[in-house]
Structure 1
Amino acid sequence: MTSSPPPVTSRSLPSHELPAPAADWVPACVVFDCDGILMDTEANWARVQRAVSERHGLEFTEAMERAMMGWSAADVATAIADAAGADRALVHADVLRTEEQTLTGQIVPLPGALETVREFSARLPVAVASNSTSTILGVKLEQAGFAPHLSTWVSSEDVPRGKPSPDIYAEAVRRLGFAPAEALAVEDSVVGATSAVSAGLVVVAVPSVPDGDPVPAHHRAASLTDPAFRELMARWLG
């Protein structure tokens, strides 16, 4: 018999409708999320969560998949371990091992992602801020071809707390040498956008689940190839 799904911790979220910055605002740097924005790895991450959950006797539901979108491996492991009454360290190791094993062949840049990063990086410093572990994030960015266009990238292991806490975005902007209010974040999930908004960045939401919970943001686009997003880029890059 399967156990109940891992509990979803309630989080204090900003309003999803945020006022746009001043009309003359332009970013001094850009920080992209990774999974769901630059590459199509969310489905693989869900498979990892499902496999680990079921190994520990838990039914992995669609509600769980949506709730844990954007969570770090550490947070996913804690939720599964708490629900299954298992050792957290063992579950965490299982999550990391399973993700590494299933990553091969799953790293596919999303439409317009590589081109967008190239265009921004030709004019501005660009970083990636991700809840992935350091090793996994490096593999993703190198294999998908993003690494040469980035000034830096920050993983959940590089800061005290992963998303939705502001630490990852704050660290990325610090490394780029700017204040948060000068930085643009591009995010797809509630968890990630909450992190960026809390850190003080201007956020463009490109939701990977269009009918999911509203993602807090100052601007919205359907994809990185959306004419609305391309218009913003043209304005910002001149």
Structure 2
Amino acid sequence: MSCASLRIVTASADYADAVTDGNPDRLPDLTAYDAVLFDLDGVLTPTAEVHMHAWRTMFEELFAQWDIQPPYTDRDYFEYLDGKKRYDGVASLLRSRDVEVPWGDPADPPTADTVCGIGNRKNLVFAAVLRSEGIAAYPGSMRLVDKLQAAGVPIAVVSSSKNAQEVLEAAGIRDRFDVVMDGVVAERDHLRSKPAPDVFVEAARMLGVDPARSVAVEDALSGVQSAAAGGFAVVVGVDRGVGGEDLARAGATVVVDDLAAFVD
């Protein structure tokens, strides 16, 4: 497939260069690229809301117990947790409050005061909400998936979450993706967390495509930075609340608020 004829909106310091306002004349044709790699939470499914709730519940309790200031806010989620592997996010947020704890081991119990133990504590809350409430994929995102699959474009999921397989199964869309690069694979293969490019580049390798001829779709600042660092031809930023201007500054070449824009 050739992407040479496409007009791509290039991000610069000016947010207007990247935001499209849903104008189809400014949107690239994603079916003309060799592959499209999707983040999961906040791009394909609204699990970001469940993650936000779980992180907030866990950290508010922890900060109160340890008398950590300033208090946890939702901005902490976007700055230190969103898009990163769970333990990296815990360490990053605690470091922002000048708090250092032992890293520990992934097998640590949720009661352990280690990075891994705290991360496992949060995961209990997330898993409970997912089991009790389920999850549904964004309709606009699935319309784009349908369009890409009808055109024969390879697609993959690139997620930092170790819960990616469970989320995809809960949403009933696991069979739509041949490649799922998740937190389990990243830990097994010692891949660095977003914003490092490792997971996106490895997912492209697993698909057998060149990032320079492929598309990455992200809603997190760290994820956009990861895809941009990986040399993807187009980095689509989906603004689910982090802010379109921040996504553009992080490296998004196109910013939309719903992936249905690429279908409409």
Quote the residue 2:75 is aligned against. Answer: 63
- Work out the CA distance in 2 between the residues paired with 1:173 and 1:152: 9
In structure 2, list runs of 5 or more residues that go unmatched: 1-10, 19-25, 102-112
Structure 1 stretch 21-30 or stretch 50-59: which is displaced more?
21-30
User: For each residue in 1:158-209, what CA deviation from the matched residue of structure 2 results, as whole angstroms up to 9, or x when unmatched?
Assistant: 2321211101111111011011112111111211111111111121222111
Alignment counterpart, residue 120 of structure 1, candidates 148, 153, 161: 148
Q: Distance in 2 between matches of 1:99 and 1:22?
A: 35
Q: 1:225 and 2:260 equivalent?
A: yes
What is the letter of the counterpart of residue 152 of structure 1? V
**For 1:37, what is the secondary structure of its paired residue?**
coil
Question: After superposition, where does 1:1-238 map in structure 2 within 5 Å?
Answer: 26-57=32-63, 58=68, 59-67=71-79, 68-82=81-95, 83=99, 85=101, 86-104=113-131, 105-122=133-150, 123-133=152-162, 136-159=163-186, 160-201=191-232, 202-209=234-241, 211=243, 213-215=246-248, 216-226=251-261, 229-230=262-263
Question: How far does residue 24 in structure 1 lie from its aligned partner after superposition?
Answer: 11
Amino acid paired to 1:79: S
Residues 53, 120 of structure 1: alpha-carbon distance in 2 compared, 3 angstrom cutoff = same
Q: For the structure 1 residues 116 and 22, does the alpha-carbon distance in structure 2 shift closer, same or farther, using more than 3 Å as the test?
A: closer
What is the aligned residue count?
214
5+ residue gaps, structure 1:
1-13, 232-238
**In structure 1, the residue corresponding to 2:145 is in which secondary structure?**
helix
Cα deviation for residue 53 of structure 1 reads 0.8
Rg (Cα) greater in structure: 2
- Whole-angstrom distance in 1 between the partners of 2:90 and 2:140: 32
Runs of at least 4 residues of structure 1 off by over 6 A? 16-25
- Displacement of 1:23 in angstroms is 9.3
**Compared with structure 1, are the counterparts of its residues 84 and 114 closer, same or farther at alpha carbon in structure 2 (3 Å cutoff)?**
same
In 1, Cα distance between equivalents of 2:155 and 2:92: 32
The TM-score normalised by the length of structure 1 is 0.79
1:91-115 CA distances to partner (integer Å, 9 max, x unpaired)? 1221222222222224221131222
Q: Does structure 1 conserve the Cα–Cα contact (< 8 Å) formed by 2:40 and 2:157?
A: yes
170-179 vs 139-148, greater mean Cα deviation: 139-148
Structure-2-length-normalised TM-score:
0.72
